[in-house]
Chain A
Amino acid sequence: MTAARALAGTQRAAMAEAWANRRGFWTQVIAMVVNDVAWIAFWVLFFHRVGAIRGWDSSKVLLLLAVLTTSAGLVLGMLGNARRIGRLAVEGDLDAALALPVPPLAYLLVRRIDTTNLGDLAFGIVLFAVAGHPTPLRTLVFAAAVVVAATILTGFLVAAGSVAFFAGRNEAGELGFHAMLMFASYPVDVFSGAAKALLYTVVPAAFVSAVPARLIDHFDGRLAATLVGVAALFAFGGWALFTAGLRRYTSGAVWTRA
């Protein structure tokens, strides 16, 4: 299939580009790792003092963080444009993608690799290996869960960014990105009521970290099916919103700058 070949060729070029751009790579990766380690330290200290709360303890939270950092590293690292869709739409940077005979969203996603986030990806895998009790079954579920979580995250980011086509500004994209990552780094059961409902629906942070972690500990067919369903929903939703938005793309026309 020519589209697959086109995308593979694009991704290969993106990797070559990322590798060519590796000045400062190591300091940034180390800074990212330090950042992640600080979060680990926080949780370890927290649970050391507090003990388990609402079914969450130290090892469960580390599992949550492993899933989050791996899938976030995958999305932000390998699909570097996922968080930039809104910015690209507003600044008229989609022209190059539209001038080529490729499916525009897929091309944009594989077009850019952000090496610093690959540090998160590596960190998450190491964290799972060290603190996640990686039996063969758990490892399998971890890998599958990461892929599904990455799909949800990508679909959400693309949808939030595509709002920019209609609004003319990229606020929803930026807000969505920060909200998602913030909420997903906490065990969802500490929230209650409306906030908790939000995290299972509009901002699917629970499905990106807490639910996959739960599945790794106790695999449940129905929950897994729900997770996959949510992934399909957000993947389709993101793509649909983006495609609809393209009809309103202004290519950065001067008159429409906010």
Chain B
Amino acid sequence: MATDPVIDVAGLGKTFATGRAGSRKHKAVEAVRDITFHVEPGERLAYIGPNGAGKSTSIKMLTGILHPTAGRAEVLGLVPWQDRRRLTMRIGTLFGQRSQLWFELTPRQSFRMLGAIFGLDDARLARRTHELAELFEADELFDAPVRNLSLGQRMRCELAACMLHEPEILFLDEPTIGLDLLGKQRFRELLVRLNAERGTTIFLTSHDVADIEHVAKRVIVINHGAVIYDDDVAAIRRTLLATKLIELSLEHPTDEPAIPGVTVVEHTPTTMKLVVDTSTRSIRDVVDALLGTCPVTDLSVVDPPLEQVIAEIYGAPRP
């Protein structure tokens, strides 16, 4: 028996009216149009697009904050904007720029309030807090007032707050905004771990490509309010760009090799970087040629950065 999708979206759309009705400035902005996709339980999905693409609007409709103007959606079998209170008991939300934790209180004090809100009894709240403290290595953080925490520390506590009631789906809207590299890395690791240990479905919006590379298995690209791509992260790399990068370490300086379908993008006395057009030439042939002509001490073959891939998709004309 096939599992029901935890998120089921069909033809979802949201039009905002700007300016006063009847005034000259009045016009309708179609923020999101005709969005259709399904998400299976336990998936890690990234929902990406440039600023103003409609990511936040989409996620806010799925969490019951906004009412759509077209289409339908079901999350865990519930219509978000109609069954908001029942749904929010089973999902967690983390919006990068809006805090669940209260600024002047410690996270633990906020947890106590959230425990009352989610109907967790004292025993369960204590157990969950302890589990999360261990999982997030955040025990000392829970007793410091939030205003004293760094952004990275705060986001870890925010994530813990979302997980307190053991939700089945976690919705995150630009969660790594403002974090430094290390902070982002730690945060992503936590998401992956949550998904692995508890099977929590992860639905993440971002315009940071590294979020997708390290967290998501599947990516939906949205631009100008419409879905323009929906597939595995690996597939995006493979199908949209037939290129690979080769990085060489050299024993001594050497001339650039002349191989058709291969362009040298960086050349120092000890290293070389090349871009291979795999539609013209197979990687095997190129590597053979390089090993034959260059004093290679080390060699690696990598996929092109996702940034490049996404940029190509963004640049595609509106369907």
Contact = CB atoms under 8 A, between A and B. Distances in A.
Interface of A: 2, 5-6, 8-10, 12-13, 16-17, 20-21, 93-96, 98-103, 167-168, 247-251, 253-256, 258
A255 B18 contact: yes
Scoring A5, A6, A99, A251 by chain B CB atoms within 10 A of each residue's CB, the highest score goes to A99
Interface stretch (B103-111, B230-238, B239-247, B310-318): B103-111
Interface in B94-123: 95, 98-100, 102-105, 109-110, 112-119
Question: In this complex, which of B31, B65, B85, B109 has the most chain A Cβ atoms within 10 angstroms of its Cβ?
Answer: B65
A94 B84 CA distance: 14
Interface of B: 16-20, 29, 31, 52, 56-57, 60, 63-67, 81, 84-86, 88-89, 93, 95, 98-100, 102-105, 109-110, 112-119, 145
A157 to B, nearest CB: 23
B119 A5 contact: yes
B66 A6 contact: no
Contacts of B29: 255
A20 B104 CA distance: 6
B52 A10 contact: no
A118 to B, nearest CB: 17
A254 B63 CA distance: 19
Given A8-B116, A16-B109, A249-B67, 19 more contacts: A9-B115, A9-B116, A9-B117, A10-B117, A12-B113, A13-B110, A17-B102, A17-B104, A20-B145, A94-B65, A99-B93, A101-B85, A101-B118, A167-B20, A247-B81, A249-B65, A253-B16, A255-B31, A258-B19
5 contacts: A95-B95, A167-B20, A168-B19, A247-B67, A255-B31
Contacts of B110: 13
Given A249-B65, A249-B66, A250-B16, A6 B104 contact: no
A247 to B, nearest CB: 5
A132 B105 CA distance: 40
A94 to B, nearest CB: 8
Given A13-B109, A99-B65, A101-B86, A6 B116 contact: yes
A252 to B, nearest CB: 10
Contacts of B99: 96
A10 B19 CA distance: 36
A16 B65 contact: no
A250 B110 CA distance: 27
A9 B118 CA distance: 11
A254 B85 CA distance: 26
Contacts of A247: 67, 81
B16 A256 contact: yes
Q: Which 7 A-B pairs have the closest CB atoms?
A: A9-B116, A20-B104, A13-B113, A6-B117, A101-B88, A255-B29, A99-B93
A256 B85 CA distance: 26
Contacts of A96: 98-100
A16 B105 contact: yes
Contacts of A8: 116
A2 B114 CA distance: 12
A247 B100 CA distance: 22
A167 to B, nearest CB: 7
Contact of B16 (A9, A17, A93, A255): A255
A154 B114 CA distance: 25
A88 B110 CA distance: 21
A95 B20 contact: no
Contacts of A12: 113
